[in-house]
Structure 1
């Protein structure tokens, strides 16, 4: 069985459940519902779950969970950056936990028509929702500078300028509409594979997906929304899969737990009088076990961070009241 054909497995499920510590009667938000793997396991503890997802294709999975667990589950179609609004819509009084599984799911990668993967031919779309700018819109209309910038920033691609130049040259002859067409153009721009451990288009496709879905901005908004919404003692659990995501979560928790690294010894340190809104459950990040990584390749890069909400008022960083 190929990696892409493997069943969808919830990454670090035992560790997620341990960090959430959900009990009967608790209300938990599964901020990235997907195929419902985390949700089903949380519901099995007796807790209630509010699932969030902006992807319209998850409805079939939500219907199956609803049929099995009834009123203890509800799905709200929304990006998790609006977690606070979704919780208010749910009608629940107290939020005891929130879990995030960040990034594209294997379920989305497996759907060629979604355009996430360069391993399957499909329309160059990459939208997790069904509205907004597509990847084709970006590669066919953006100027060289902004295009190279996102490929470098979000894809951490050193050859971003060369790739952007190749895209502009090719689109002048014919616009890009298909995933394999773009992947082939990138591969040619970088001189072929030459035994590279990953496909030459990997980082560019990641960058486009992040830009199309504003994934990093969504993550920042989601963390702030969880901070505003979790009750005292509520647990925040986040699983990330690459360094850009993990850095945002790490910095957020360092700041909100009062554990930011010290400043320069030559410069005065500003005193922040805001009280910590979270306490870490453990230092650093947990990784998946070797056993899980062996059977689920997606788990190899996973990092889990978790914290408990204190009684301090939320910081109004994002400006949302």
Structure 2
């Protein structure tokens, strides 16, 4: 579940590889950037998508909640002579930065950036020993706080739902036993325990700590909640004819995006158990035939692209609806505020 709109490197089988923006040509085809348009890149990263959109002639409003990305992006801002504006903010607030006339496009590339993975001190990777942190913004509750303070039942739900970890119970109970004697401080502390509790089998393609680290990162940064909020924000911020393009790397993310576009399609819904719901005016019309995945050629060049899925829609003239987060069926997990206590 690694995503990035800019440069850098990321981890794949065999070690770090140079980052290549995933589905770049497909993103540009779906966005249709050109002179006179204003596109919002909600996940700036190192500017891969942003640079390509600017090269196509459009102006860009770019967002990132990582202060490191904002600082690194200032050179691109300076080089583009007023055609790029960069804001330090989570993409859930994208509607606050849209012009009064509305946006012509929004692109979101969901997940952790390659730059964050590469920096051991950020604590995202079990392959790089560093503080057990994982905060994209650098503020708030850290992964160490969650591991050391959350109740066992909460850890089980976090690992089980957000990481789809089958051994969630065993790992959570082992964490509780260990932390009573010594708190977890580093990525190797946690990964080492998981390796003991659930040893890697010869047939396993991924490290036993992969799913737990994914779950902690998603939880600490409220990634699913941020995505849901961003989709509703884009609905409000896009002008008629504006395009929303979302690239995801995990089934949990893709499920949210797919559900959103389905709910906003205007089609009547129902089942043999429930009455048919009256069709509403479509708020988004699909771009193309639906979900787009990477070609075999791209996946061969860039292993990260194998799990990528692109979904896109065109905003209609129908008014935005009131956000209803129940449509996403998000899990009831522990409160970050309570854990941060």
Pairwise TM-score range, normalised by the shorter structure: over 0.9
Match of 1:280 in 2: 286
CA separation of 1:266 and 1:182: change in aligned 2, threshold 3 A: closer
Residues 121-200 of structure 1 mapped to structure 2, 5 A cutoff: 121-200=129-208
Out of 315, 319, 327, the residue aligned to residue 309 of structure 1 is 315
- The offset of 1:152, in angstroms, is 0.4
> Relative to 1, partners in 2 of residues 1:266 and 1:170: Cα closer, same or farther, differing over 3 Å?
closer
Give secondary structure in 2 for the equivalent of 1:6: strand
Structure 2 unmatched ranges of 5 or more: 1-8, 326-341
Whether the aligned pair in 2 keeps the contact of 1:8 and 1:107 (CA below 8 Å) is: no
SS of the residue aligned with 1:71? Answer: coil
Secondary structure in 1 matching 2:225: helix
Superposed displacement of residue 266, structure 1:
4.1
Q: Which residue of 1 aligns with 2:338?
A: none
Rounded to whole Å, the distance in 1 between the matches of 2:195 and 2:228 is: 33
Q: Name 1:11's counterpart in structure 2.
A: 22
Matching residue within 25, 38, 45 for 2:36: 25
Q: Does 1:81 align with 2:123?
A: no
1:187/1:193 contact within 8 Å kept: no
For residues 112-138 of structure 1, the C-alpha deviation after alignment (integer angstroms, 9 at most, x for no partner) is 111001111010000000211000000
Give the drift of 1:289. 1.2
Distance 1:234 1:275, change over 3 A: same
Using the TM superposition, give the Cα deviation of residue 6 of structure 1 relative to its aligned residue in structure 2, in angstroms.
2.0
The reply to whether residue 43 of structure 1 matches residue 45 of structure 2 is: no
Contact 1:78–1:86 (CA under 8 A) maintained in structure 2: no
**Correspondence for 1:267:** 274
- Normalising by structure 1, report the TM-score: 0.94
Report whether the alignment pairs 1:222 with 2:233.
no
Residue 253 of structure 2 is aligned to residue 245 of structure 1: yes
Note the alpha carbon deviations across 1:167-205, whole angstroms, 9 max, x for none.
Answer: 111111110010011011011111344441100010000
Q: 2: distance between equivalents of 1:267 and 1:231?
A: 34
Matched, 1:289 2:300: no
CA distance in 1, matches of 2:273, 2:244: 36
Cα distance in 1, alignment partners of residues 272 and 203 from structure 2: 46
Contact 1:279–1:310 (8 Å) recurs in 2: yes
Q: In the TM superposition, what are the counterparts of 1:94-113 in structure 2 within 5 Å?
A: 94-113=102-121
Residues 241-268 of structure 1 show CA distances to partners (whole Å, capped at 9, x for unaligned) of 01000000000001101246x4222432
Normalised to the residue count of structure 2, the TM-score between the two structures is: 0.88
Corresponding pairs, count = 314
Contact 2:200 2:207 in 1 (8 A): no
- 2:80 alignment partner, SS class: helix
Which moved further from structure 2: 187-196 or 94-103?
187-196
